[in-house]
Structure 1
């Protein structure tokens, strides 16, 4: 599948074909950094409450990275573990 060049919109951001914001250093300050345990717990706790864009802004990662990480955690059976970890730590 050929990659398409992201379109830059009036807001100065570029979006992929699925409408996700592409990497921008002002918003994705944790780009290419590994997730911390606390970030994974936060992601799993609030992913189903907030949308992927909100989570991306909160964690400083791209939407694609957020969605891929959630998918990986679910496949590995760790999504619920990290969700419960947030509950144990903060409630």
Structure 2
């Protein structure tokens, strides 16, 4: 019967990948130190290096979030607050 798989946080994976990139220790040493299989460390290192360039690219999602006009949202909040107050008053009249 097999046990549950271990789940590692992104920060832990990054820490291990950075140690592997530094090449101060062998994969076997890192595997023993972090209690992770050497193949997993190699995979995390490769993934880290592949995605490293995206850090310096402009994030189009962030730019689109910044361009959202808040005025319609505030107007909707105001309408909902008015409706909410109206409904509260109506319920009080029924009791």
What is the TM-score with the length of structure 1 in the denominator?
Answer: 0.42
What is the TM-score with the length of structure 2 in the denominator?
Answer: 0.41
Between structure 1 and structure 2, the one with the greater Rg is: 2
Structure with bigger helix share is 2
